[in-house]
Structure formats: C-alpha cells, structure tokens
Amino acid sequence: MSSVVIGKVHTDDKGTIFRLNVFETQSDDSTNILDLSPGGTTAFIIFTNPSNEEFEFSATIIAPATSGIIEYINTDTTFFNDSSFWFYRARIDMTNTSFQSNDISFEVLDGQQ
C-alpha cells in the first residue's frame, strides 16, 4: 500500500488530503492494485493520535475504482490537536471480507510554523 499526504499537516489545518493506493499482496509476495469496484465495497481511513486513540472516517473511492485509490479530506480545524507523530491506515470492507493496511506515520507540525 502506498500513501501520500498532500502538503504539510499542521495543528490548525483544514482541507489536508490523505490518499492511499491499496494493493493486494499475493502468496508469492507480488502485489496487484486492489479493484475497489465490486458492489458493497466501502473504504475508511483510521487515524491514531500520539495518545494511541483511534478515529475512523469514511473515505472516498477515487474513480476509476479499479485504480485502488481512496481519499479522505480533513474538514475539522481542531482534529489534529497535537503536534507530534500520528499514524493512519486504510480499512476496506467488501461483501465477503474486510482488511486493514499497515500504519503509515506522518508528522503534525505546530500551527504557528
């Protein structure tokens, strides 16, 4: 799973884009982009703050869904309230299965910077 945070993240931010490209790992350790188009597929991004509290948000599946890309845009200026290292990961729910990615770290900077 690859990821990108669009821009730097600050404690007073709103509109920061978090994007994940979801891959499926095969038994031979090769990877394929996960097709998110089957009906009933939902995506979430889970954030973990420095106090180890988890917060889950619905993510958007970016078209075409066969690209395996999900996205969350932060809409709350008070959410990133601790300037430190945070983590995020994807959770994908499909009709017959659910799985999560590994955590990805990012740094939240003080809003005054």
**53-81, pLDDT tens digit by residue?**
999 999 999 999 999 999 999 999 999 99
- pTM metric for this prediction: 0.88
φ/ψ region of 106 (left if φ > 0, alpha if ψ in -120 to 50, else beta) reads: beta
Contacts of 34 (CB under 8 A, 6+ apart): 22, 23, 24, 68, 92
Instruction: For residue 16, give the CATH number of its domain.
Output: 2.60.40.10
Average pLDDT on 102-110 reads 91
Position 2 scores a pLDDT of: 52
**13-25, pLDDT tens digit by residue?**
888 899 999 988 8
Count of domains forming the chain:
1
Segments forming the whole domain that contains residue 93: 2-109
How far separated are the first and last CA of the chain, in Å rounded? 30
State the DSSP code for 112.
Answer: T
